[in-house]
Amino acid sequence: MISTLKSLVDPLGETEFLTLLRERKLTFLPGYGSGRFETLLTWETLNHLLDGASLPLDALRVVRESVPIPTNFYLTHGRVDPVALSKLLDGGISLIFNRLDEYVPALRVLCKNIAQDTSERITAAAIMTSGRGGALKCHYDAEDLIILQIAGAKRWQVFSSPIVNPVPDVAAGSAPEGSPIFDQVLRPGDFLFLPAGHWHHCENGPDRSLHVCILIVPPNGRHVLTALESQLSSDETFRCALTRHRSPQTLAEHESALKTRLVDAIQAMSLAGFLTQHAALHRVESIRLEGRTDLACDAQA
C-alpha cells in the first residue's frame, strides 16, 4: 500500500524526487498498465462520498470545459441527485473533488507523511472526466501537482514558458504558443509531476477517466507577511483609527510609532523560526484545485 513519499515516487528515490520538486522539473513515470494507485482511491469510495453526503458540497465542482454547471442541474434538496449527475456524465463533464484527504483515510495518511517529509502544505483532490466536454481548458495551477492516473486514459499536453512562482490570486504572463514540450496519454499506474505554473491541456479518452492530484504548496514570503499581520493585529498601535487624530502632528507621531513597531517586528523575525512553526501547525487553509484560465491558450494539439 502506498502511504509514504518513498513508496509514491518509486522507482525514483525520495532524495531524487525532492530535488525535482525543488527545481520544479517536469517528470513522467510510466506505470505500464499497473494498478498501483488503486489503493488510494476507488470508484466505490467516490460513489459513497456522493451518496452518503459526507463530502461537503463546497468541496465538489461540476464543470464542462472549465465552466461551472449550475447546481440545480445535479442537486435535489441540497444533495447530489445521482440520476441527474449520471445524465450530465453521459454528456461529458468533469467532477472535481477537493479536500479528499479529509475524507479518504488512505489519502489522509499519504498527505500527512509527505507534509512531514517536505514541511510543505499537502492536500489531495481528484478529477473524474467523461467525454471531451468534460476536459478543462488550457490552464496552469499555482500548486505543484503529482498526478496519479487511477482509471481510464487522458492525454496531457504541457507547454513551454511556465509562470515562475505563481500564486493563486495573481494572474501573470501569457499563454504559450506552439507545440507542447510534453504530449503523453496517461493510463492507470502512470505518474506525472507537473510543477506549478506549467500551462497544460487534457483530452479525455473514450471511457471515464479518474486521476488523483496531490497538491503541494511551499511557504513563501507572503506567508511570512500573513504571520506578521496576525502577530501585529493585536498590538494597540495597529488598532488605532487613522482618521481620528486631532491634528497633523498627532497623525505624524502615530505614523512614526507604526513604522517603528513594524521595523522592530521585521528585525525580530527569523525565517528558520517561522519555518519551524509553519511545519508544526496543522493545515489552516484548504487547497482547492482550480486551474488558472485567465488567458486563453493558443497552442494547438
Report, in this order, helix, strand and coil percent for the chain, each rounded to 5: 35, 25, 40
Query: 5-217 falls under which CATH superfamily?
Result: Cupin (2.60.120.650)
- How far apart, in Å, are the Cα atoms of 101 and each of 33, 41, 48, 212, 273? 25, 10, 15, 11, 28
Task: Specify the amino acid at residue 108.
Answer: R
pLDDT of the residue at 300: 37
Report phi then psi at 266, rounded to 5: -70, -45
Verdict on whether the full-model pTM lies above 0.85: yes
CA distance 117 to 6: 10
pLDDT of the residue at 168: 82
Domain boundaries, the chain: 5-217, 221-269
Q: Which of 292, 271, 287 is nearest to 111 (CA)?
A: 287
CA distance 31 to 35: 8
**How big is the chain by its Cα radius of gyration, in Å?**
22
pLDDT of the residue at 133: 63
pLDDT of the residue at 285: 45
What residues are paired with 186 via a beta bridge?
154
Task: Report the length, in residues, of the chain.
Answer: 301
pLDDT of the residue at 214: 98
pLDDT of the residue at 232: 93
pLDDT of the residue at 262: 94
Q: Are 15 and 27 in contact (CB under 8 A)?
A: no
Q: Which stretches does DSSP call E strand in 130-274?
A: 144-151, 154-158, 182-186, 191-194, 200-204, 209-217
pLDDT of the residue at 134: 63
> Which pLDDT tens digits describe the chain residue by residue (301 residues)?
899 999 999 999 999 999 999 999 999 999 977 889 999 999 999 988 988 767 888 899 999 888 899 999 999 988 899 899 989 988 889 999 999 999 999 999 999 999 999 999 999 999 999 987 666 788 899 999 999 999 999 999 999 888 999 988 777 667 788 899 999 999 999 999 999 999 999 988 778 999 999 999 999 999 999 999 998 998 999 999 999 999 999 999 999 999 999 999 999 999 999 988 888 774 434 555 665 554 434 433 3
pLDDT of the residue at 292: 56
